[in-house]
Chain A
Amino acid sequence: MLTILLVDDDTEFTDVACTIIEFLGHEVLTAANLAEAKDWLSKESFDHILLDFMLPDGSGLHLLESLNSEQKQPRVTLITGHPSVKGIIKDMCGDNVDYLVKPIQREELESVLQPQKKSVPKKSTKQSVTRHFGQLIGESAPMQELYKLISRVSKTNANVMLLGESGVGKEVVAAAIHAAADCPGPYVATNCGAFSKELIGSELFGHEKGAFTGAIGRKAGVFEQAENGTLFLDEITEMPIDMQPNLLRVLENKVVIRVGGTKATPVNCRVVSASNRSMEELAESKVLREDIYFRLAVFPITIPPLRERKEDIPLLARYFIDQLNSENNSQFRWQSEQLEKLSAYDWPGNVRELRHFVHRAAIMSEPEGVDIELPKTIESPFAKKQTLSTGLKAGRTIEDVEKELIYATLEKVDGNKTTAAEMLGISTKTLYNRLHAYGDITTDNGQ
């Protein structure tokens, strides 16, 4: 409820406006001229002043001046009969002053008396981002394919192995599979890389009281906790190889024996495991036993890296900023050229890197504004590692690698061709010839 002062010399208008304002749930006092209004202001404190522009003893603007000395600055809505005055008022007064043009309707009164009017555009941007299976964001072809796979596998009991680079959202996909499966049990996630060799057995299979020093009570392992649900084993390749036969036994027999125990407890859950290694790497590196692989990867799913679904970058960026806006009560909004800049980058750290970048940009931006401040360049320590590993892969032509090196060098020196040529150990003329051959010289001639 607001306390409102209505200043207007038309008593018929103030009478009926008071009834309507009271109906809207506010308390209202009236003044017919500047003198009465000043008198009220000296006695009472108001949240909002509805102020006629033309009053018998002067312009309503005179009251604005005396308001500046007030401790609590009320919001002001100037009421004017001239639509043309609108623009002048806007220039003269700050953000704290609104205006209404006569004849006034109830909805207009209602909207100026609402404390926050900015929620409308925020809502519209939020609506545009769909979360598939309540988790995943993206409308690109690779994501549509992924949704198809999730939907198929969720209807079965098959164990799933998720493969994909770091940061692509393997845990999010695991949660999506659980959501799509609509199973009665819970979703339990654990990271096999987070436990010492001694503790991983207890984490997975549980332990009996007194099984080892510190085992003061019986504990159920994650297999038991995820009964009738989904168990997500992240970084499965980090599991010590000598622990893997124990895991194989559980997967094959569907029973666990707690550490220090003898009794076999039946378990029933879908196991979704994940690794950031590719299938070839898994086979070569021998970090996962072959028999375990075939048990876990009944249905392997490779999650595409962000650079292979660049059309989803604006959607994700919007989703992350909406999330930050609702957490911090801010109003940040992307400019289309900023989204283009984000889409042009390769994001070697994938969605995780993008989310981190958006968060950092939001922190760097003026909290009261809507503009997001982006750093001049998007750089991550992982970006270089990525370029190096793809740049020197066997099977690529020397021309390809040379082209990549030239562009990487130009990017490093902000497009300065003389410096780039020096770094590359070639003449500027040769650099221009190469760029010409790549069809890039037309834009360079103009510089």
Chain B
Amino acid sequence: MDDEQFAMLQTAVHDARRPLNRITMQAELIKLALEGAVPPDKALAALDKIIAGCQDCSESLSQIVDNFNPTNTGNNE
């Protein structure tokens, strides 16, 4: 892997970490809701956002695989 490819990978991982960060924070919000510190409807919305975040993360990972697939010419070069 050359420097350019490594930079691309770094950007892709950065993008994949973004939904992970959202998921973590939404999970923290649910913990607060369970402790009674925030209303329960916020917890429900947070769970929906976690599910969406997981899908975003999965798409980002698929994108990384696509980008670095040697048979997929044009994307990797």
Contacts and interface: CB of A to CB of B under 8 A. Distances in A.
Interface of A: 10, 12-13, 16-17, 19-20, 23, 54, 81-82, 102-106
B29 A103 contact: no
Contact of A105 (B10, B28, B46, B49): B28
B38 interface: yes
Nearest to A16: B25
12 contacts: A12-B22, A16-B25, A20-B29, A20-B32, A23-B37, A81-B18, A82-B14, A102-B20, A103-B17, A103-B20, A104-B21, A105-B28
A12 B10 contact: no
B25 to A, nearest CB: 4
Point out which of B10, B14, B20, B23 has the most chain A C-beta atoms below 10 A from its C-beta: B14
A106 B28 contact: yes
Interface of B: 10, 13-14, 17-18, 20-26, 28-29, 31-32, 37-38, 42, 46, 49
A299 B16 CA distance: 78
B53 to A, nearest CB: 8
A16 B14 CA distance: 20
Given A19-B42, A103-B20, A12 B32 contact: no
Given A20-B29, A104-B25, A12 B49 contact: yes
Contacts of A104: 21, 24-25
Given A23-B32, A105-B24, 17 more contacts: A12-B22, A12-B49, A13-B25, A16-B28, A19-B29, A19-B42, A20-B25, A20-B28, A20-B32, A23-B37, A23-B38, A81-B14, A81-B18, A81-B21, A103-B20, A103-B23, A105-B28
B31 A10 contact: no
B42 A13 contact: no
Contact of B38 (A12, A19, A81, A82): A19
A82 B42 contact: no
Contact of A82 (B10, B24, B32): B10
B25 A17 contact: yes
B22 A10 contact: yes
Contact of B14 (A17, A54, A105): A54
A250 B38 CA distance: 72
Contacts of A13: 18, 21-22, 25
Contacts of A102: 17-18, 20-21
Nearest to A102: B21
Contacts of B32: 19-20, 23, 106
A119 B17 CA distance: 33
Contacts of B31: 106
A17 B27 CA distance: 11
Nearest to A84: B10
A217 B52 CA distance: 87
Which 6 pairs across A and B sit closest by C-beta, in order of nearness? A103-B24, A102-B21, A106-B28, A103-B21, A16-B25, A81-B17
Contacts of B21: 10, 13, 81, 102-104
Nearest to B46: A16
Nearest to B24: A103
Contact of A16 (B10, B17, B20, B29): B29
Contacts of A16: 22, 25-26, 28-29, 46, 49
Contacts of B28: 16, 20, 105-106
Contacts of A81: 13-14, 17-18, 21
Contacts of A20: 25, 28-29, 32
B11 to A, nearest CB: 10
A10 B21 CA distance: 10
Contacts of A19: 29, 32, 38, 42
Contacts of B23: 103
A19 B22 CA distance: 13
A54 B38 CA distance: 30
Contacts of A10: 18, 21-22
Contacts of A23: 32, 37-38
A81 B38 CA distance: 28
Most buried by A among B10, B21, B49: B21
